[in-house]
Amino acid sequence: MSNKNSYSAIPTDPERSNISIPSSKSRRRLYITMGAVVVSVAAAVVIGTTVFLGRKIEDVPQRNVIMMISDGFGPASETFARQYRQYTEGLGPKVILPLDEIHVGHSRTQSSSSLVTDSAAGATAFSCAMKSYNGAIGVDPEEVPCGTVLESAKIHKNMLTGLVATSRITHATPGAFSAHVAWRDWENAIAEQQIGHNPLGRTVDLMFGGGKCEFLSSQAVGTCRNDSRDLLQEAKEQFGWEVKLTKEEFDEIEPENTQLPVMALFAPGHMSYEIDRDSSKQPALHEMASKALSILKAKSQKENKGFFLMIEGSRIDMAAHTNDPATHVHEILEYQRTVELVKKFVDENPTTVLISTSDHETGGLTAGRQIGDNYPEYLWYPEVIQKVVNSSEALSEAWSVAVENNSTSTKYLKEVLIESGLGIKDIKKEELQKVYDWNNSNKTVEELAYVFGDMVSRRALIGWSTHGHTAVDVNLYAKGPGTESLRGSHENTDIGDFITDYLGLNLQDITIKLKESQLINAQQQFDKRPTDKNPAVYHG
């Protein structure tokens, strides 16, 4: 039973339609008072039949769901990555990507507050099977917590659960499956709920990704918490978490002998882009997914239970926000590698379902672009993308450091950053000037990254319409029993409904339990979430 509601129109309430980000000082957390409700974990219940969007399918033991989310990945990005791979590997046009083989339809993405969604509302649609406003993390349009598929899988079915992401593990997408806050930026509170400070108790068994700073005391180096709580220590002492903070510790994990819950956090913030990643310090997405699947499979076989695992290619979106085509394509190809291994897992474990889709499209990417007034040729240049060896983010950060250290030079900018980093030899004076103009501006390092990304995009004839999101439908991919019901055009909430039905979950019951817990009156004790008319500016 899902949290089904009717949202027939986009509300015009200006307090919901346009939201700006609060400062760190004015963040208000929607806390769920801990210890108010003690919820017992129920044993798995055998269901005779399961309904898939109106179709009955016989139940089977140890059902698994692997929900993959390619943040910010639109249909044009699939074409872009496929053609790039065909070109760089000398393949013919009939060679397709792993996702192409399981393409079943598309997902419609609007939120309850806007025709253009953000990742928080998008992920809440998947997790709660419910439309909510942009910025909502596991709450409905009235800011009331909604039960998620991950929580019901744990509470009602005693299943194993996991989150894998290349963003902060407290970011919008993983957060929406594992926490309930009224505003996506309250990641301190999301971290608290993820480790187990939740009226439902601990519902997550495994977390791999970035975001260590959200768990460190405000007195620690590299923290981004606003209080002195050491959540890593609390996780170990109060909830029994095994905590890994290095690639070496991650590599030493033996799936057969791993004790749950386990978390591995590899970066203070987001993990590195694939194009920049140091393999000795951070695993790739496919490595994290592979280890997570091995752990969950070994544990599920020992305990005779299924699992729910969410895997997010988080930074596909962030590269598109920067309009950085080379970084974008490398993030996509790493996601495709991950899809390939998950597809193999489904083949070897036939009661497993794989669903892959995006929360939204980012950037308005086009493979083909008109530069100037002259009618364009019908082409784009993958070879330009192939020469890039660093993300625009890494290059802009390097230049920013040089500016701070008063060590900038045209030689460094031209030869090291642009020629070596971007593979561009025909740099123009006006392009160099744009970088120098940034030095004395009030623009962010991210805005400098736009300049480097544009140098590549123009030469490759890759177009972008925005640094934000768009409303286009996104592709829907699926493999496994019952997924034929996902063919065609679906609202993003249908995906949450499908998971609910396949696993025999009861989201409404979880919602009731959350409502019955004692909630702190946020309006009285904390500032309200932002509701002014300025546009929201954030990634995902």
What residue spans of 136-225 are helical by DSSP H? 149-157, 172-178, 187-195
Residue with tokens 């980000």: 21
Phi, psi of 193 (to 5 degrees): -70, -35
Question: What's the rounded Cα separation, in Å, for the pair 232 and 230?
Answer: 6
The answer to whether the peptide bond before residue 261 is cis (omega within 30 degrees of 0) is yes
Closest CA to 72 of 338, 319, 333, 340: 319
219-234 burial by CB neighbour count: b if 16+ within 10 A, else e? Answer: eeeebbbeeebbbbeb
User: Among the options 70, 119, 178, 517, which is catalytic?
Assistant: 119
Question: Contact 181/22 with Cβ under 8 angstroms?
Answer: no
CA distances from 101 to 215, 257, 303, 339 (A): 39, 35, 33, 11
Number of H-type helices and E-type strands within the chain: 19, 16
Closest CA to 68 of 309, 347, 274, 293: 309
Question: What's the rounded Cα separation, in Å, for the pair 317 and 331?
Answer: 9
Of the chain, the end-to-end C-alpha distance in Å amounts to 28
Paired sense of beta strands 474-479 and 352-357, if any: antiparallel
Known catalytic membership, residue 119: yes
Residue 175, burial from CB neighbour count under 10 angstroms (0-12, 13-18, 19+): buried
Q: Report which secondary-structure segment, H or E, holds 307.
A: strand 307-312
Question: Contact 2/507 with Cβ under 8 angstroms?
Answer: yes
Question: Contact 1/500 with Cβ under 8 angstroms?
Answer: yes
* Residues in CB range of 233: below 8 A, 6 or more apart: none
Q: Which residues are catalytic?
A: 119
